[in-house]
Amino acid sequence: MSTAVVIPARIGSRGIPRKNLEHVGGVPLVQRALESACVSIADQVILSSDDEEILALHTTPKDRGAWAHKRQPHLCEDSSPSEEAVLAALDWMSGDTTYDNVILMQCTSPFTNASDINGMVRMLEAGSRCVVSVYREQLYTWTQTAGITHGQNFNYTAPRLTRQASSPTWVENGALYGMKVDDLRRARHRFFHPVELLEMPKARSVDIDTPEDLRIARILARDIGTRCGRCRSTHVVSHEMGRQCAACGEVQGC
């Protein structure tokens, strides 16, 4: 059973111009995703983009690079579904090999590491059909319907439970989506029954969509990123065999 990781990374972005090339911890977002994916146990990594500067980064991982798929312009609009970009990349690869499973990896989640990807690969190879990465919250959420406010995940007319005693809520963090390829081709979207959850720490579940998100990610990179002994970058990729700096390739001293 084989698994491919596809990283869609178009150059356009409505909220942050050229967002996928922005730096966090001294490393472009695209490169952070590539470095983590390329030291995972996934069989292949495919970088899909409409931009030559982004595609040129496919060779940056030290141990193995990724395939670079030049995406067609009609798949790079603001309204273009990421699933169609994934399917186009898989179709492009089909002349060489086919895959049983695919993981859609968003480079706008800068703290996803190889162990997260490995966990999803193992779930898919064990039989899961659809997996989404999440983080755990224990919050009271409210909603309004026709101007009427009510509790969304709790009974607000009953005695109040402590936060610790309340049931957890799972929040989609936008980092990883795992699918059986045949199911994705049939559904043409990323979710189909049954959906299973891969939990990631909340601290590593930042999803960059706005300039404020980017500022938060850069602050967190200083706090939660292990610092490289050679170049002082905070993007040190952790995986089963050890640690490697994504910025300079240093292994010893990281």
- Specify the amino acid at residue 154: F
Query: Hey, where are the domains in the chain?
Result: 3-135+171-214
pLDDT of residue 237: 59
Q: Which two tokens stand for residue 77?
A: 């609009």
83 φ, ψ to 5°? -60, -35
Q: Which helix (H) or strand (E) element contains residue 89? A: helix 82-93
pLDDT along the chain (254 residues), means of 10: 94 86 92 91 94 88 80 80 93 84 96 93 97 93 93 88 82 97 94 95 93 93 69 59 60 53
d(CA 10, CA 55): 10
d(CA 46, CA 81): 17
Q: What is the pTM of this model?
A: 0.85
- Kindly report the CATH number that applies to the domain delimited by 3-135+171-214: 3.90.550.10
Residue with tokens 């190889």: 114
Task: Tally Cβ neighbours within 10 Å of residue 173.
Answer: 24
Q: Which helix (H) or strand (E) element contains residue 239? A: strand 236-239
pLDDT of residue 94: 78
pLDDT of residue 254: 45
pLDDT of residue 236: 65
